[in-house]
């Protein structure tokens, strides 16, 4: 029997099947990277440069640790000392793991390796989801799913983006696999998914609250069976905790700060000023507060972007020492202003969340884009316009999302969805809404919601089977 199996694998038909599988895999990767392939360059954002330079700084920091072990006390190269100073004075620090990934892949091969890895990981997770939701389906149907999502949604744009945005839906999908399809996965797949969860949560600061929110929603849905299903929930929580500990270790070792987000810009303060409560609070209570912000009451009427990043704001214009004091006041002023003006703050959060929920155009994905980089610098260039062809693709994206949402809700109301499908789609909606809430605490931007909104039509395609729905218990 064993010999006959080996013989079948070595037959022309077996080799043809293997070749077909490889060919379909290549088609899927190409589809996921389609915007970059058409534009002949990976897509980039202004923050891409920060990740690249942050990766270099992290490499120098790691080398400094080895140098301190191998060299006499106090003997450090000038470039390491200057990098240490730059790190401590940084006004914004991006995810160190993603920075190291971006810098290492680009320096070792090219920018293309970054999106190739992102495409491979995305394809791998999507394939696991496909196999769980539609077990026993032919291989080519998964390829069709990937191609449809790549052509008609924001999926391929997010994959082709040298930003950590794709790790948010990857993290959410892995959590859904754990809590919805735990009993269908092998031990190897379970540990693989848990590893992806632990790594993905470190790639962006918003990933941890989004992941915790998804787990809480799932626990609320399955509260009657929570004790019975405690293993996947505990292991998923453990993977998230492991990622959080790694983030904390980076803050302590690299920045001497007990925080998950060292040198994080004062987004909460900027948001509170832009929404109104922070502005009213400071003008009513200065100078009794003895706050550093009381020195800048004439520069509060700016938006979040200007306040943090541009010279007409405050945070970008002050000295590193004063910027550190502003960061220290960030959460305290936000909370105090919200407590003093609760209705204004709640309505602002609701308004910003709804704005972000409806904002998922392709504007932030710039094409064409170019990048010149060396070991120590990166220069970016792109077209700032929003051309008609991209407007048309954005309209298609909206139409597909709305159609997918309508289809799944109709099937749900008609009783044609099983319990697993309902649980799975509920977590997709939770991911989309919780992700939108991040816009309430930073700045609503198209790319924030575009990174996860494609999950809605993905669910519709997974549930659809010819003219009906594959009902699952």
Burial of 455 (0-12, 13-18, 19+ CB in 10 A): buried
Per residue of the chain (473 residues), give pLDDT as tens.
Answer: 444 444 545 576 666 678 888 999 999 999 999 999 999 999 999 899 989 988 888 887 777 666 666 655 544 555 555 555 555 555 566 788 999 999 999 999 999 999 999 999 999 999 999 999 999 999 999 999 999 999 999 999 999 999 999 999 999 999 999 999 999 999 999 999 999 999 999 999 999 999 999 999 999 999 999 999 999 999 999 999 999 999 988 888 777 777 777 878 899 999 999 999 999 999 999 988 889 999 999 888 988 988 988 888 899 888 888 988 999 999 999 999 999 999 999 999 999 999 999 999 999 999 989 999 998 899 999 888 899 999 999 999 999 999 999 999 999 999 999 999 999 999 999 999 999 998 778 888 999 999 999 999 999 999 996 434 454 55
Length of the chain: 473
What DSSP string runs through 302-343?
Answer: S-HHHHHHSTTSSTTTS-HHHHHHHHHHHHHHHHHHHHHSHH
> Distance between CA 377 and CA 385 in Å, rounded?
25
Phi first, then psi, for residue 33 (nearest 5°) are -105, 15
3-class state of residue 89 by DSSP: coil
> Distance between CA 394 and CA 386 in Å, rounded?
10
Per-residue tokens: 194 = 């848990």
What DSSP string runs through 354-382?
Answer: HHHHT---STTS-SSEEEEE-SS-EEEEE
Query: Contacts for 430-435 with beta carbons within 8 Å, 24 or more apart?
Result: 430/213, 430/214, 430/217, 430/218, 431/169, 431/172, 431/210, 431/214, 431/455, 432/357, 432/456, 433/353, 433/357, 434/209, 434/210, 434/213, 434/214, 435/168, 435/206, 435/210, 435/356
Beta-bridged to residue 468, according to DSSP, are 465
Question: Would you state the torsion angle of the CA atoms of residues 106, 112, 115, 116, taken in this order, to the nearest 10 degrees?
Answer: -110
Asked if 231 and 253 touch (Cβ cutoff 8 Å), the reply is no
When computed from its CA atoms, the radius of gyration of the chain, rounded to whole angstroms, is 24
pLDDT at site 5 = 44
> Distance between CA 121 and CA 177 in Å, rounded?
15
pLDDT at site 14 = 64
CA–chain centroid gap for 211, Å, is: 11
Domain boundaries, the chain: 2-260, 277-340
Closest CA to 328 of 259, 251, 254: 259
Beta strands in 168-312 (DSSP E): none
């Amino acid at each position: 029997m064993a010999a006959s199996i080996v013989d079948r694998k070595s037959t022309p038909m077996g080799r043809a099947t293997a070749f077909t599988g490889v060919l379909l895999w290549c088609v899927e990767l190409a589809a996921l990277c389609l915007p970059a392939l058409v534009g002949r360059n990976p897509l980039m954002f202004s923050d891409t440069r920060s990740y690249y330079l942050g990766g270099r700084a992290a490499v120098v920091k790691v080398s400094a640790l080895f140098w301190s072990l191998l060299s006499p006390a106090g003997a450090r190269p000038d470039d390491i000392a200057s990098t240490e100073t730059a790190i401590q004075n940084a006004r914004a620090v991006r995810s160190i793991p993603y920075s190291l990934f971006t810098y290492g892949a680009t320096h070792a091969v090219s920018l293309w390796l970054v999106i190739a890895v992102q495409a491979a990981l995305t394809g791998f997770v999507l394939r696991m989801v496909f196999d769980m939701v539609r077990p026993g389906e032919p291989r080519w149907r998964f390829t069709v799913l990937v191609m449809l999502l790549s052509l008609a949604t924001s999926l391929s744009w997010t994959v082709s983006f040298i930003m950590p945005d794709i790790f948010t839906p990857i993290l959410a999908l892995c959590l859904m696999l754990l809590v919805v399809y735990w009993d269908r996965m092998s031990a190897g797949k379970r540990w693989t998914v848990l590893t992806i969860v632990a790594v993905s949560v470190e790639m962006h600061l918003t990933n941890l609250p989004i992941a915790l929110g998804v787990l809480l929603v799932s626990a609320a849905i399955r509260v009657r069976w929570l004790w019975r299903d405690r293993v996947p929930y505990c292991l998923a929580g453990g993977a998230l905790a492991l990622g959080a500990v790694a983030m904390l270790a980076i803050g302590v070792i690299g920045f001497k700060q007990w925080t998950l987000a060292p040198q994080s810009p004062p987004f909460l303060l900027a948001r509170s000023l832009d929404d109104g409560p922070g502005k009213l609070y400071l003008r009513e209570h200065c100078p009794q507060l003895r706050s550093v912000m009381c020195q800048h009451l004439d520069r509060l009427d700016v938006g979040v972007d200007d306040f943090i990043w541009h010279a007409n704001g405050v945070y970008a214009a002050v000295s590193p020492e004063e910027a550190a004091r502003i960061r220290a006041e960030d959460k305290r002023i936000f909370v105090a202003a919200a407590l003093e003006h609760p209705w204004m703050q709640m309505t602002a959060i609701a308004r910003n969340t709804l704005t972000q929920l409806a904002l998922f155009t392709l504007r932030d994905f710039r094409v064409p884009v170019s990048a010149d980089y060396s070991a120590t610098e990166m220069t970016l260039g792109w077209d700032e316009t929003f051309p008609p062809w991209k407007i048309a693709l954005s309209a298609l994206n909206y139409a597909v999302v709305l159609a997918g949402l309508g289809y799944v809700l109709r099937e749900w109301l008609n009783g044609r969805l099983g319990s697993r499908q309902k649980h799975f789609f509920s977590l997709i909606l939770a991911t989309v809404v919780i992700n939108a809430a991040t816009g309430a605490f930073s700045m609503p931007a198209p790319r924030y919601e575009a990174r996860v909104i494609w999950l809605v039509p993905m669910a519709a395609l997974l549930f659809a089977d010819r003219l009906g729905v594959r009902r699952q218990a």
